[in-house]
Every structure is written in C-alpha cells, then in structure tokens.
Amino acid sequence: MALHIGDIAPDFTAETTEGTIRFHDWIGDGWAILFSHPKDFTPVCTTELGYMAKLVPEFEKRHCKVIGLSVDSVEDHRRWLKDIEETQGAAVNYPLIGDTDLSVAKLYDMLPAGAGGTAGQRTAADNFTVRSVFVIGPDKKIKLTLTYPMSTGRNFDEILRVLDSIELTEKFKVATPVNWHEGEDVIIVTSVKDDEARERFPEGWQAPKPYMRIVHQPH
C-alpha cells in the first residue's frame, strides 16, 4: 500500500553498516530522512551517496538523521563505501540498510508493483529500488515523499530546503512561497484571521491581496 504525507512511517528492525537498528528508536525525538538507491557499485548512486555525506552536517544542525537503503547486503555496502570516498571525496557518515529480503523496500513501496520473492529470486532489474525519499518528523509521521527515476540523480540541496520549510511551518502558522530559502519572507496561512495575525506578527505584513499576507520569517 502506498504511503502518504501524514501517515505514520512504518517501523522496522534492520541490519545496517552501523549495526542493528529499530527504526523508530533510531529516529528518537528528532527528524529523519530515509532514502533508497537502486544498486551498489553503480555510477549515479555513487555520486548521490557521496554528496549526501557532505550535507550530513547541515542536516545535523536541523536535528535530522540520515539513513540510506538498497536491497544489497551490508557486506556489499561496506565494500562500496571505499569507492564512494575515493571518487567523491567524502566518507559516508550515515548508516546504510542492507535489505536483502526486500522487507523494508516493500514496506515503503520502493519496488515495482507486484514485486515478490527475495533479491536472489528475482532479476537484477526487478531488484532495483527506485530513488525514494521520505522525510519523517519527531512524531514519526511522514512529512514529505519524493520518487525519482533510476536514471536521474536527486537534488539533495532541495531536500535540505524542504526540510527547512517543514520545520519552520510546523512551528509557526506560516507557509513558504515558491523557491523559498531560509531567511526569506513567508506567508501567513489563510486559517489565521487578521486579529490573530496581529498578535503573532505585531510588525504587520504586506498584502498585495487580502489572502496573501507576506511577513519576515519568524524565529
């Protein structure tokens, strides 16, 4: 069954390059990003995991953990880590789940429809997970889902931007406009009436239309 924004992220126990984890316990009281890649020892995935390693300090500033997944074994992951560091100039600094029985991939709908069996029983193409991304909040609910084709590397800077927006809009009654980045103006949500808005934003707002009240980003 497909997962949607607002659903509780399914819990699971899995082996990773940093030992056995229970997912919800591993997340703790912060945020998490779970992302899958199609296959170890492939070029696009190598670039993705290396770039994500460079961004991990930025996610940590936002109290967000990162974890990767494919249906390859933990042993294959560990061997591949050397290639990533050598070619991308960054050592992977987050755990990778070895999902050889496809249990987590199926739980999160990361495989083609009708996928069955284990990694060893299916063709190489069938075993490929799509490039899925899930942002999960401290309440263990899914806040964002993204799915990319296998041939297209992801823009992890965009995922960082969206995390900034989600964390901000969960704390304040605002929304972020198109192409918004941290520090830029935001929009008061329409469910907040003007009287409440005056209390929350005493410095006032700009309103090119009554429903479009623009304010400086709150902190």
- The reply to whether 159 falls in a domain is no
Q: Which are the contacts of 91, defined by CB distance < 8 A and separation ≥ 6?
A: 53, 81, 84, 85
Query: Which candidate in 14, 34, 45, 71 is catalytic?
Result: 45
Q: Yes or no: say if 139 and 24 are a contact pair by the CB < 8 Å rule.
A: no
Question: What are the pLDDT digits (tens) for 33-73?
Answer: 999 999 999 999 999 999 999 999 999 999 999 999 999 99
Q: How many domains does the chain have?
A: 2
Q: Which two tokens stand for residue 61?
A: 């500033």
pTM (predicted TM-score):
0.91
Please tell me whether residues 114 and 86 are part of one structural domain: yes
Please tell me whether residues 47 and 83 are part of one structural domain: yes
Please tell me whether residues 142 and 182 are part of one structural domain: no
Please tell me whether residues 141 and 188 are part of one structural domain: no
Q: Is 64 a catalytic residue?
A: no
DSSP calls for 124-175: HHHHPPPEEEEEE-TTSBEEEEEEE-TTS---HHHHHHHHHHHHHHHHSSEE
Range of the domain at 125: 13-154
Please tell me whether residues 147 and 81 are part of one structural domain: yes
pLDDT of residue 114 exceeding 60: no
Q: Which two tokens stand for residue 100?
A: 């050889």
Give the CATH number, domain containing residue 196: 3.30.1020.10
Please tell me whether residues 29 and 79 are part of one structural domain: yes
Q: Give the separation between CA 68 and CA 159, rounded to whole angstroms.
A: 14
Please tell me whether residues 123 and 181 are part of one structural domain: no
Pairing of strands 64-70, 31-36: parallel
